[in-house]
Copies of this chain bind each other. A is one copy, B any other.
Amino acid sequence: MPNVWIAGAGMTRFGKRQESLPDLVAEAARSALSRAQLETPDSIVVASMNPEEFIGEGNFASRIATHMGFAHVPALRVETATSSGAAAIYSGFAGVAAGLYRSVLVVGGEKMTHLPTPRVSELIGRSIDPHERSYGATMPALAGLVTRALMAATGVTLKEISQVSVKNHAHGALNPYAHFREPLSPDAVLESRIVADPLRLYHCCPISDGAAAVVLSADPSPVRIAGIGQGTDTLAVRYRESLVSFRATRAAARAAYAMAGFGAERVEVAEVHDAFSPFELMALEDLGLVPPGKAARATLSGETALDGRLPVNPSGGLKARGHPLAATGIAQVVELFWQLIGQAHGRQVTATVGLSHSIGGLATNNWVILLERVG
């Protein structure tokens, strides 16, 4: 299989945006294409979780391609709920690896802040098993359940969980693309209002607008996709083998490491899916980045902070950079690309290998992508 390279990357500022989704997507795409010095890509993969209901538009690959002036470039849409951006990178990767295209523009985005929060919650809730949904399950409710199980099984405390939010806000404060740029104190997290016991508001990522893009290429450039893996699990949470470890993350990591030919020991920076702060602790262990049972302590001791042994979510993560669903899996790779080529101004870490981890639904469809700077 030939190498697939990242020729360029770009994103919009995440947050409450006034622009339309097509405008946001075009802004991110233009930025990635310009970095790649590419005028017209051979192909386009678009990610958006549910543009039909979020903004009332369908046929979204054609909508976006036309809007960007690329009506004659083949474009398709890929969706795996909240990990759609990572799935789109897989799709572009496969197209280049198969030799079908020399270059693929992968772009994803979401516009959500114009809708009332209960409506957003309803739309995101379509990702939940229908039976569990019929009993009132929402994403935060299920995340609360997982968090309670995690605390009971492992002794992880709310203070340790809150430290994820504190760290990621400290990182986000350094990222001009982040939704939130204010540091957060541990007390502020613990005193924020309850969303789904034991999760408080500042344990949860915000509702954000935004878009992100990468250009994948068969032509060598400094950063390659060393591995990409998908892992899945039952839609229904009640059928899971475990609540305190995500099988989908473990399977995705296994597949990505196998493709790369190396394991967690080479990862020097990671962007993980902290839609809820305890998920970052679970991810660190499921990905093999810290030994079992050590994620909370590693976080509290600063090991995963920008200046620690293994910086995690230098962008601010979903918590502070924001989470425009289908943009997120791509934005993680954008951040890693910037980190690996030394252009993460003000929040730069030292790394040649980076890992991104994206969760679809309540960990039904997860992805791990490994980037490596070569030479």
Contacts and interface: CB of A to CB of B under 8 A. Distances in A.
Interface string A35-63: 00000000000000110110011111111
Given A52-B52, A59-B80, A62-B80, A74 B235 contact: no
Interface stretch (A89-97, A162-170, A286-294, A309-317): A89-97
A233 interface: yes
Contacts of A73: 232
A341 interface: no
Interface string A69-95: 001111111111100000100110111
Nearest to A361: B59
Identical copies in the complex? 2
A100 interface: yes
Given A76-B87, A80-B76, A98-B94, A127 B59 contact: yes
Contacts of A308: none
A339 to B, nearest CB: 26
Given A232-B71, A233-B71, A127 B58 contact: yes
Contact of A365 (B61, B129, B231): B61
A75 B126 contact: no
Contacts of A52: 50, 52-53, 123, 126
A73 B248 CA distance: 10
A222 interface: no
Contact of A62 (B56, B78, B97, B364): B364
A365 B76 contact: yes
Nearest to A74: B230
Nearest to A126: B58
A60 B76 contact: no
A183 B179 CA distance: 61
A1 B62 contact: no
Nearest to A65: B232
B231 A74 contact: yes
Contact of A99 (B77, B97, B123, B251): B97
B97 A100 contact: yes
Nearest to A236: B66
A130 B59 contact: no
Contacts of A75: 80, 232, 365
B232 A360 contact: no
A247 B232 CA distance: 39
Interface string A350-365: 0000000000110011
B230 A62 contact: no
Interface of A: 1, 49-50, 52-53, 56-63, 65-67, 71-81, 87, 90-91, 93-95, 97-100, 123, 126-130, 230-236, 239, 247, 251, 255, 360-361, 364-365
Given A52-B52, A52-B126, A71-B233, 15 more contacts: A53-B53, A56-B126, A57-B126, A62-B360, A71-B232, A72-B233, A72-B247, A75-B80, A77-B79, A78-B79, A93-B98, A94-B95, A94-B100, A95-B98, A98-B98
